[in-house]
Chains A and B, each alone.
Chain A
């Protein structure tokens, strides 16, 4: 790998022990995927602050103990705790104490305590063409696809190493070539389906299953695919597959036409999503249709627009089952009356974490309904619960009635 003089100085420990360790990992990761050089970044989003066992903490404390300090603006992903509402935590206190130490280590290295899996909903998000190093799979796919910023799929540990060094391997989605669509996914469904949020979950899930790590251009959608629907699409695509980027013809910034997305070259294959496939995906993401025990929405973290939609559906009503909404503390601070309506409805607003990561849900007496494909995908294994995927309005109607209502995809 071609290294600059500064890179070599970092590798030799001239910028301190933490930077040396970080630089070694950045170079090793780059060599593993055949990168020829490194590239400067303008920001990072670090997922390593989420506790996954002592390995998380040991690594963070090794770096912070050696004086590590980030060299680019760096946001932090969710934690395993709701720091604003600590009483919601129902888990092991030893783990909670370690999670707090992990948080302290990342804040000590100069990261911003944003605690959100949706950093793209913060005010100062990256713009078209910005080179960044982001962790958290849903954030990565959003940054590339919706913002047109450039990041590879940075895993835990490597994200903070990039933030400490300000350098990333120049490869993959950082390059023009790596962003070219090689697969086309044609969505061929009745026009009215484009008004249904669950269509975007289904397309995302099918995308992840059919393309793996490849970049696809999706056709057949239009500007009804707004930022929140693209967020839902990307989040589930990055769960069912290793999708780091997709284009939507006529919608996303590097795909004014399908030709632009493909950079003028032919795709290698075409996948068609017909109504039967879409319907089967939605049904398949539910593990049961049995009784309703709880509702969980806001995965990834609800945007302000999503909180307002929820507020307009639930205002003046009352949930009969535990109802959880996850969002970022910055979004909650901006939500005002919408947040009040949601709380008056009887819902619990969760910040800084997510209900499928943190022991917050009371063991539900029945299945958990969610509008999130990502939640539906991970929660059965993480939490040992049954899941019903439904639209936001069905989630609210079900909560109010105390039993499962499936109007939109019955």
Chain B
């Protein structure tokens, strides 16, 4: 895996069965999935290492990610199959404004749903293939 927003993270792995639009699909106040059409409706992503194939839907998801990190309900880290600019920017803005870091990785975490993992890639992995 490579880090596109570097930093360490630890938490329980939650693999999304379908892509999730954070805007309209994730409530930053509660940290819960609120998209009723999503198979994991009602699940909390707060403090989790969230594995998702790619982002979906609204370009407002940057704001929702930053707001959830401000409120402390956001995911511990995101692991994406492909880089997603919208999520990267949301994470970087939370770091700029609130010094809260939600690292974003690209690749296969090789971890099973529900297990606890630690991700420790540092700055040096940024930009590696």
Contact = CB atoms under 8 A, between A and B. Distances in A.
A14 to B, nearest CB: 20
A247 to B, nearest CB: 21
A155 B44 CA distance: 23
Interface in B35-92: 35-37, 53-64, 66-67, 69-71, 82-90, 92
Given A52-B64, A238-B57, A242-B55, A158 B85 contact: yes
A330 to B, nearest CB: 22
A28 B92 contact: yes
A362 interface: no
A156 to B, nearest CB: 4
A213 B54 contact: yes
Nearest to B28: A53
A374 B66 CA distance: 24
Interface stretch (B7-15, B93-101, B107-115): B93-101
Contact of B25 (A21, A238, A381): A381
**Size bracket of the A interface:** 35 or more
A29 B61 CA distance: 15
Contact of B63 (A56, A152, A382): A56
B93 A157 contact: yes
Nearest to A237: B57
Contact of A153 (B5, B59, B82, B98): B59
A29 B67 contact: no
B85 A33 contact: yes
Interface string A370-403: 0000000110111000000000000000000000
A32 B67 contact: no
B107 to A, nearest CB: 13
A113 B56 CA distance: 28
Interface residues of B, number: 47
Contacts, number: 137
Interface stretch (A83-91, A134-142, A260-268, A345-353): A134-142
B83 A47 contact: no
A212 B60 contact: no
A153 B60 CA distance: 10
A110 B62 CA distance: 22
Contact of A155 (B54, B62, B69, B71): B62
B4 interface: yes
Interface in B4-35: 4-5, 19, 21, 23-25, 28, 34-35
A62 B60 CA distance: 19
A156 B82 contact: no
A58 interface: yes
Interface in A53-76: 53-56, 58-59, 62
Contacts of B62: 155-158
A54 B64 contact: no
B57 A239 contact: yes
Given A54-B70, A155-B86, A242 B63 contact: no
Given A153-B86, A158-B85, 20 more contacts: A28-B92, A31-B126, A31-B127, A50-B63, A53-B71, A55-B63, A55-B66, A55-B67, A55-B70, A55-B94, A59-B66, A137-B58, A154-B59, A155-B61, A155-B90, A156-B60, A158-B86, A213-B54, A239-B21, A382-B24
A357 to B, nearest CB: 10
Contact of B97 (A59, A153, A156): A59
Nearest to A161: B89
